[in-house]
Amino acid sequence: MDILIVEDEADIAQLIQLYLEKEGFACRVCSDGQAAIRLFQELQPDLIILDLMLPELDGLEVCARIRQKPGSKDPYILMLTAKGEELDRIIGLSTGADDYMVKPFSPRELVARVRALLRRTLRQGGQTKTYQTQHFTVDVDQRAAYRHADQPNTAKKGERLDLTTLEFDLLTTFMSYPGRVWNRAQLIEKLWGSDFFGDERVVDTHIARLRKKIEFDPAAPAFVKTVIGVGYKFEDAPAN
């Protein structure tokens, strides 16, 4: 598993590298956005740890460019931000990052998040599955999700949804058990694994972003429903 660390504060970069290499990950470090794009193309890393405030191109721009690269590997992106307000901003912009950490963070927590993200890749290996409901098709193998105005139709796949890795996994989890009520801890276990540290509310953030992308009216969700006092469930009629 190859990891690219993009961080212009040398001591932080070194600390992250030290902890990840201790865990057996191969790491490369760079300190600006231009170098990040170049190394992404050269190394095709599995995961990128990306600082938001960088010289040359900032983290948001780097993230956007990596997500736009057609045909290349789609890495997990864990973004680092200096302040909570920045976190709100990057979530609001739906940058395509899979996870976020606010500085200062514990290196042990960072390692746990990295392992959880990468384990999802391993867990999904070899799966060949398609889930369909009246309005959605999820092709797990191709990692592609589509929304149909009405019934799925093989001649016309519908509109391809532009989802981050995490949003895709969230939708797949929902579609694999339509109608099942999930609490936040169960969704975290599914998406990040059991060694997730941090605030369960991170789930709400990703739900809000998923709704923006899949609901016809995100203000009145028809598919991802809130179950008051418990969590969430996905509702849609079966296909055909």
Interface ranges with Ca ion (CB under 5 A): 8, 51, 53
> Taking the complex as a whole, how short is the minimal distance between the CB of residue 17 and Ca ion, in angstroms?
15
> Taking the complex as a whole, how short is the minimal distance between the CB of residue 103 and Ca ion, in angstroms?
9
Q: Report the distance separating Cα 116 and Cα 119, nearest Å.
A: 5
Q: Report the distance separating Cα 127 and Cα 182, nearest Å.
A: 23
Q: Report the distance separating Cα 136 and Cα 191, nearest Å.
A: 20
> Closer to Ca ion at the Cβ: 12 or 170?
12
> Closer to Ca ion at the Cβ: 36 or 203?
36
> Closer to Ca ion at the Cβ: 53 or 239?
53
**What are the start-end ranges of the E strands in 7-113?**
26-30, 47-51, 76-81, 99-102
Place of tokens 């901003």: 89
> Closer to Ca ion at the Cβ: 51 or 167?
51
> Taking the complex as a whole, how short is the minimal distance between the CB of residue 26 and Ca ion, in angstroms?
23
Q: Which two tokens stand for residue 39?
A: 């190394």
Name the residue whose CB lies closest to Ca ion: 53
Helix 59-68 / helix 33-43 crossing angle, nearest 10 deg? 30
> Taking the complex as a whole, how short is the minimal distance between the CB of residue 101 and Ca ion, in angstroms?
13
